[in-house]
Amino acid sequence: MTKTYSPPFVITPGIVADVAEIAEHLGRSAVAAESAGALRLRRVNRIRTIHGSLAIEGNTLSEQQITAILEGKPVIAPPSEIQEVRNALLAYEHFPAWNPASEEDLLAAHALLMTGLVERPGAYRHGGVGVMSGDHVVHMAPPADRVAILMGDLFAWLGRAEVHPLIASCVFHYEFEFIHPFEDGNGRLGRLWQTLILSRWNPLLADLPVESIIHAHQQDYYRALAESNAEGASTLFVEFMLGVIREALMSSTEQATEQGTEQAGEQVLNLLARMGEGDYSAKALMALTGLSHRPTFLYDYLHPALAGGWLELTRPETPKSPKQGYRLTPSGRQLVLALRQHDGGDLRVRPDE
């Protein structure tokens, strides 16, 4: 291999369509990053991600047990499995500081993920390694003396790759698993690094529960790797992973919609659904809902909508201004859009009593 090595793959019409669909869905799914609901959903997705990735590797701890470890509560389980969870939680704390094109950062990530689990965490393997399926070797990784060269070539490609980050992340993931550079921990680190690459393209993807979808399609995941190995190109694996990302994105959006619906309540949803773009006075909002009792409007509709982050003041510097107005926030618009899409384009609202 040379310094200008490029991993073999073909950009098929299906890959182009998947990239376009994922990008479009991300554009529609942008929500206010600081909303309480978004913060809670990110925490849930982080736990789902860790559970899915470790479950693929045989860890038996449940999402509830992982949550307990995160909260510092005692958990009765094999010490090695608890160590795996603690390592993963620690790795995700360092996640924002890593550069996906840095080989040094990847080695640091492996050290965090595998501390207490292997003899040489954070160091490339010195011996041969194969991927087993039962009693059969399904992939024999390149010799250990080639690992540093191959990883250097892979990072050099990633640093100059001109393909869409969605595609580049999948190709890197496949090539990483093909090289299998570490004694152990290759699967969880390869998946983590793909997420890191994706997150630098779009931060919304940092906590997308891709791992839980892979876990649900674990045999298909291994099959896509094996078939790509047989073809000598990562095309089939790229197609598979883009489908996983799309499914994870849809699942996360549905969760956000359900969570937003539960938090908002029927009165707030009815108010938001009647609003369009632009500013409204309190009187205009009351007219939209058909309410004449101001206290009911304030305490059941307006105040909860403001507290939930779905509405904002037009004059935040003077909250009691007689000219005060209200408008939808980005998360308010997203909630209405998601609900309309969920209901086939028609968010049905009931007349308020």
Catalytic one of 51, 110, 173, 180: 180
| Residues 318 and 22 sit within 8 Å (Cβ to Cβ) | no
Report how far residue 67's alpha carbon sits from residue 47's, in angstroms, rounded to the nearest whole number. 7
For residue 30, the tally of other CB atoms under 10 A from its CB is: 14
User: Tokens 């529960």 sit at which residue?
Assistant: 209
Intra-chain end-to-end CA distance of the chain, in Å: 73
185 by DSSP, 3-state: which?
coil
The structure tokens listed for 46 are 């982080």
Q: Report the helix count and the strand count for the chain, using DSSP H and E.
A: 15, 4
The structure tokens listed for 265 are 């309540």
Report how far residue 21's alpha carbon sits from residue 15's, in angstroms, rounded to the nearest whole number. 10
Report how far residue 19's alpha carbon sits from residue 36's, in angstroms, rounded to the nearest whole number. 30
Report how far residue 324's alpha carbon sits from residue 316's, in angstroms, rounded to the nearest whole number. 8
Which letter, b or e, does each residue of 110-130 get, where b requires 16 or more Cβ atoms within 10 Å of its Cβ?
bbbbbeeebeebbebbeeebe
Q: Does residue 217 have an active-site annotation?
A: no
Q: Which residues are 133's β-sheet partners?
A: 136
| Residues 84 and 105 sit within 8 Å (Cβ to Cβ) | no
Exposed, middle or buried, 136 (CB in 10 Å: 0-12/13-18/19+)?
exposed
Residues making up the annotated binding site for ATP are 184-191, 221-222, 229
DSSP string, 306-324: HHTTSEEES-TTSTT-TT-
Q: Which residues are catalytic?
A: 180
